[in-house]
Structure 1
Amino acid sequence: MDNKQLGNRIVQLVGGEGNINSLVHCATRLRFKLNDRQKADKEELRKIADVLTVVEKGGQFQVVIGNKVGKVYTEIMNDHNIHNEDSANEKETIEKVGVMAKSFEYISGTFSPLIPALAGAGMIKALLAILDILNLIDINGTTYAVLNAASSGLFYFLPIFVAISAAKKLNANPFVGGAIAAGLVDPNFTALLKADGQVSFMDIPLIVTDYSSTVFPLLIAMAVYAPLERFVKKRTPDTIQLFFIPMVGILVMVPLTALVFGPFAQYISLAIGAAVTYLVAKSAILTGVIIASIWPILVILGVHWGVVPIMIDNYSRGGDIIGPITAASTFAQMGIAFGIFLRAGKNKELRSLSFAATLSGLFAGVSEPILYGIVLRYKKLIPLLLVAGSIGGAIVATFNVRVFGFVFNSLLTIPAYSPTLGYILGIGASFLSATILAFVFGTEGKKKVAADKAEKAIEDKSSKTVAALDKTYDLSAPLKGEVMPLENVDDAVFSSGAMGKGVAIEPAEGMVSAPFDGNVVTLFPTKHAIGLISENGVEVLIHIGLDTVQLGGKYFDAHVEAGSAVKKGDKLVTFDIEGIKKAGYKATTPVIVTNTAEYLDVVQTKSRFVTLEEPILTIVK
């Protein structure tokens, strides 16, 4: 259908003109604000050939249609009486409805940098458990004591690490944040736990809490400390800021956390833990089914790290049961991937993807490639995943399996769970049932047909001469920074590959330059995204930041315009990285080859850091 017909069909399926409060668009998607989201038919929208996917995020109903979004938007606005809110009003709307989303973003952003350390320490705990089972280490010896300290030290002093990361996330001084947390695990403070009688601070009753291994109190404390630091900084002469601002922060926040935030957070955490325990006692099967079912959805939405603090707080209170139940869901995802591997047949791309995803899940506990690369690609697998995860979750909950440290859910960490037999039965049931379901019911559908066509094209091309396959084109880095796989981007549209293959760059400086000689096809009015085409036909989208369309052009300056001819290295757009982050957005920049389907493959560089004009993608003709 043409752009006019497509626009009218989309309007109809989101509930009609009367259901649309406002409409804006970015470089890839139409962003509707609907009066009643229940009237929108997501399944029918996804069936439209020109619609890549549908996303509900930040109070918006987003229909992703790729490069032609501007033309479709124009047709919709010409044919319908729909309000186009300005960016400021749209941002205000999102802030009103996005308190919960922002909270999860804060928690997720705090824990993401800590995950490698948590996983490493957790794996040491699992290793010690294996050595103990095999009688290869004396648990009363000094070797065990040293290794146990190596794995437990991070968890004991976790409040300090959480405070540092949270303060950094909120653009406050991270080391002052760490100092605040250190005051709460200092021996002088913890000694008050053994004090006789009522303890008080300046005649105010003090409920002394053991803050080791806790996270909630410091998450709350840093959320208060960050604005306090900015408030004091604005009113403090430059000559004394070096010591006065940290002094005030520590002097105010340590007692305030001990008096208010600590007890409050502990009560909330205890209440949540007690609620889960109560549900398990009443109906272990139902509890396991519910937790295992919602877990993959939380992961897809990127809010699963918001549950991690609850798990960690449970470690010192008889162990955590949430983690073992979520493991059932994780192993169900691995089973889905393995079932698809067995069924994929001659589809080499799908076999390779599913096999690699299975191995990364089984031995590293990493399930995102399965969710974004397979499950979201073939929506039919979602109910199969939920059923398989629920089976294992019910078994795990029935055996009341617990874990006492942070570990990824993999084969290597099985000894960390107790009772081990109940855990093995649960994850085994999830894996086996998911494998069978995926193998039997398969991945047929629109995208399966497309994948088969792509596979046939690859096979046809592979029969050509080596010389023909050697025709490659290197795409240079349009900005300097750290390279990350596209599937790790915190945006389902980009990470799923719906827009095409590519790479993402965490920018080290705020400048985008031309990656080749060519022309500017599109420059979005807010200047956060630019589309280019090279002289030999490679189409590239450079999307600066995630959801940065909401900034309305603030922090961005364009140095070219649509239709401009550019040479490799020409300055295209400059932007303020810190300004974008302070406004609450990520500066992560996807670089997408939008006409990927026209090429044999698009291969990412192995370099972790790139400079301007250094190759980041190799395009095979």
Structure 2
Amino acid sequence: MEEKLTHAQLAKLILKNVGGSENIISYMSCMTRLRIEVNDKSLVNIEEIKGLDKVKGITMSGNICQIILFSELDKTYREFDKLFHDIPENTAVDSKPKSKRSPLDLILNFVSSVFTPIIPALIASGLIKAIVTLLASANLIDTTGTTYQLLNVVGDTCLYYYPVYIAFSGAKYLGCNQYLTALMAFIMINPSYTEMITGVTEAGKSYYSLFGLPIRAVTYTSTIFPMIAAIFGVWIVEKIIYKYMPDSLKTSIAPTLTILLSLPVCLGILAPLGSFLNDGFGIVFTWIYTNIPVVAGLLLGATGSFLVMFGCHMIPVVFAMTNFANLGYDVIYPILSINSVMVGFIALAIAFKSTDKKEKSYGITVSFVSAVLGITEPALYGIIMNHKKGLLSLVIVGGLYGAISMVLGTQTTALVSPVLGFPAYMGKVLPFIITMLVAAAGGFLIPVLLGTGDKDKIK
């Protein structure tokens, strides 16, 4: 029987079993997981961590260790963070990993580190926007009143200032000055800058002049890729300036020079390149959505749960965020979010067929957590991963409802679960209901028909 631990004790044991503070590059709270990037993954004691009280599972992808804690995450993270900051400066970590990281690991780590902290703001802003729109369409709120107007502002604010969120979050990951990077983002979305660009384009010009250099006339409000590119510009310029400038001048001169030199680098080269990527994604997405929606939905639905298991789910979420910024809605995220309904009902089916009282009780509990609250990890790691036909059901049902969702055009205006956040899915009500019913009914019936239960349990 595992020893009961306080959150402080658990944090200490986690730190010990990931190789100590000297083996940690970065760590963050990631919805239901403590996500730790390590120098040397061979020092991570997976089996020891897995057996700790309150730990529901652990995954290791490259140098990223993800410890699944569910409702215990917040308190454990606070203790872990407190513990880490109590470490003396002379034990600071070496940020160069000893084990080689693949390009995919680097991309996944960057994407998760930058975008995961932004999600709560997106959820709040997007859901408020959806509720206000729903109330207005039902004539339940006065659209000329200040309450409606203010709530509308709240709903639009997060996407408008999206580049600032990305800049602040990305700068933290790269280790450059967050406030200078955010300043660059504010410059790029400043209404005066947008007005200047509008004036340039209305005059029939594609470029304007900065220090005599031609700069492409582009606006960057609500964009993603231009700001991601610009982050690296500020990072490079700041690194060079702080490396060669005398210490006596760094406080007063370095910040000013960083911004002045970042302007041509970011606005002249990197942000326009990011803008081409933004436009390119829009073209590719439109082509896929128009020509092969069945294939796209089938693949995303069939692999959605496995993306969560391996910590890769933020990649399609970033593309969903791009659609929110470009279109105001998205058809990718409904497939990812309705996955929680499917997972919940698959877990319920396994619990229904199981003769193990403990598994039956746990399965019923986590099916509710997944289907209603939108948190899939308890069901995935605690039930479904233990059953071969449960895993097969993820692929079959996921592919089925994913294809249906994409063909029907199920859409959302916010990153919210389909049950608690249903107002965000009301843009197309019937496709949403059909997709939900297929995910729920298929999630329960397919594993039962396949014969899930005690016999298909993975030993």
Class of the TM-score when normalised by the shorter of the 2 chains: 0.7 to 0.9
Check 1:343–1:141 CA distance in 2 against 1; reply closer, same or farther (3 A cut): farther
4+ aligned runs moved over 6 Å, structure 1: 53-56
- Which of 411, 430, 441 is the aligned partner of 1:421? 430
**1:213–1:173: structure 2 CA closer, same or farther, 3 Å change rule?**
same
Aligned to 1:106: 110
Between the aligned partners of 1:331 and 1:313, the Cα distance in structure 2 is: 24
Letter in 2 for 1:217: P
1:66-465, aligned counterparts within 5 Å? 94-95=100-101, 98-195=102-199, 196-198=203-205, 199-202=207-210, 203-318=212-327, 319-344=329-354, 347-348=357-358, 350-403=359-412, 405-417=413-425, 418-440=427-449, 441-444=451-454
1:248-299 per-residue CA deviation (whole Å, 9 max, x = no partner) reads 2222223322222222222223323322321222232222101212222222
Distance 2:150 2:129 in 1: 12
Gaps of 5+ in 2: 1-40, 48-56, 65-93
**2:222·2:326 contact (CA, 8 Å) conserved in 1?**
no
In structure 2, relative to structure 1, the CA distance for the partners of 1:224 and 1:104 (3 Å cut) is farther
Q: Which residue of 2 aligns with 1:489?
A: none
Higher relative contact order by CA 8 Å / sep ≥ 6: 1 or 2? Answer: 2
Taking a change above 3 Å as real, the CA distance of residues 446 and 423 of structure 1, as seen in their structure-2 partners, is closer
Does the CA-based 8 Å contact 1:396-1:422 persist in structure 2?
yes
With over 3 angstroms needed to count, the CA separation of the structure-2 counterparts of 1:204 and 1:371, relative to structure 1, is farther
C-alpha contact (below 8 Å) 1:164/1:177 kept by paired residues: yes
Distance 1:234 1:435, change over 3 A: same
Contact persistence 2:216–2:268 (CA under 8 A):
yes
Task: String of CA shifts for 1:515-550, please: whole Å, max 9, x gaps.
Answer: xxxxxxxxxxxxxxxxxxxxxxxxxxxxxxxxxxxx
Q: Give the root-mean-square deviation of aligned CA atoms.
A: 3.0
Q: Give the match's secondary structure for 1:380.
A: helix
- Judge conservation of contact 1:157–1:185 (CA < 8 Å) in 2: yes
Kindly, what percent of the aligned residue pairs are identical?
Answer: 24
Quote the offset at 1:55 in angstroms.
Answer: 7.6
Do the aligned partners of residues 409 and 29 (structure 1) sit closer, same or farther apart at CA in structure 2, a change above 3 Å counting?
Answer: closer
Q: 1:437 to 1:209 in 2, by over 3 A?
A: same
Per-residue deviation, 1:158: 1.2
Distance apart, 1:164 and its partner CA = 0.6
Q: Look up the SS of the partner of 1:310 in the other structure.
A: helix
Higher helix share: 2
| Range moving further from structure 2, 296-305 or 381-390 | 296-305
226 and 205 in structure 1: CA distance in 2 versus 1, 3 angstrom threshold: closer
Contact 2:46 2:58 in 1 (8 A): no
Instruction: Say which SS state the counterpart of residue 296 (structure 1) adopts.
Output: helix
Q: How many residues align?
A: 373
Alignment partners' CA distance in 1, 2:255 and 2:382:
46
SS in 2 for 1:364: coil
Shift of 1:92: 6.4
Give the gaps of 5 or more residues in structure 1. Answer: 1-23, 31-52, 61-87, 450-621
Q: Is 2:414–2:424's contact at 8 Å kept on the other side of the alignment?
A: no
What is the identity, as a one-letter code, of the residue corresponding to 1:131?
Answer: L
Q: Rate the CA distance shift 1:226–1:136 in 2: closer, same or farther, 3 A.
A: same
Counterparts of 2:58 and 2:330 in 1: how far apart (Å)?
35
Once the two structures are superposed, what CA deviation does each residue of 1:136-195 show, in whole Å capped at 9, x if it has no partner?
213343211111111221111111111111101112111111111011011221112321
Change (3 A) 1:165 1:439: same
| Cα pair 1:338 1:355 within 8 Å, conserved | yes
Q: CA 1:55–1:147 in 2, change beyond 3 Å: closer, same or farther? A: closer
Q: Secondary structure at the match of 1:114?
A: helix
Shift of 1:108: 0.5
Change (3 A) 1:172 1:295: same
> Residues 402-431 of structure 1, C-alpha deviation per residue, up to 9 Å, x if partnerless?
33x332232132332331211221122012
Q: Distance in 2 between matches of 1:110 and 1:316?
A: 16
Alignment check: 8 A CA contact 1:118 1:407 kept: yes
The equivalent of 1:568 in structure 2 is none
C-alpha separation between the residues in 1 aligned to 2:124 and 2:360? 30
Q: Secondary structure at the match of 2:288?
A: helix
Give yes or no for contact 2:388–2:458 (8 Å, CA) kept in 1: no
Once the two structures are superposed, what CA deviation does each residue of 1:191-238 show, in whole Å capped at 9, x if it has no partner? Answer: 123212323123443333332222222222223433432332222222
Amino acid at match of 1:234: K
What do residues 549-601 of structure 1 show as CA deviations (whole Å, max 9, x unaligned)?
xxxxxxxxxxxxxxxxxxxxxxxxxxxxxxxxxxxxxxxxxxxxxxxxxxxxx
Shift of the alpha carbon at 1:93? 6.3
Asked which structure has the greater CA Rg, the reply is 1
In 2, Cα distance between the equivalents of 1:119 and 1:131?
Answer: 18
CA distance in structure 1 between the partners assigned to 2:58 and 2:371 by the alignment = 30
Kept after mapping to 2: 8 A contact 1:124/1:147: yes
Secondary structure of the structure 1 residue equivalent to 2:285: helix
CA distance in 2, matches of 1:254, 1:333: 47
Q: Which amino acid aligns with 2:245?
A: T
The change in CA–CA distance for 1:346 and 1:93 in structure 2 (over 3 A counts) is: closer
* Structure with more strand by fraction: 1
Q: 1:173 to 1:54 in 2, by over 3 A?
A: closer
Q: Secondary structure at the match of 1:419?
A: helix
Contact residue 206 and residue 259 of structure 1 kept, 8 A: yes
Q: Secondary structure of the equivalent of 1:411?
A: coil
CA distance in 1, matches of 2:237, 2:307: 32
Cα 1:295–1:260 shift into 2, 3 Å: farther
Which amino acid counterpart does residue 197 of structure 1 have in structure 2? G
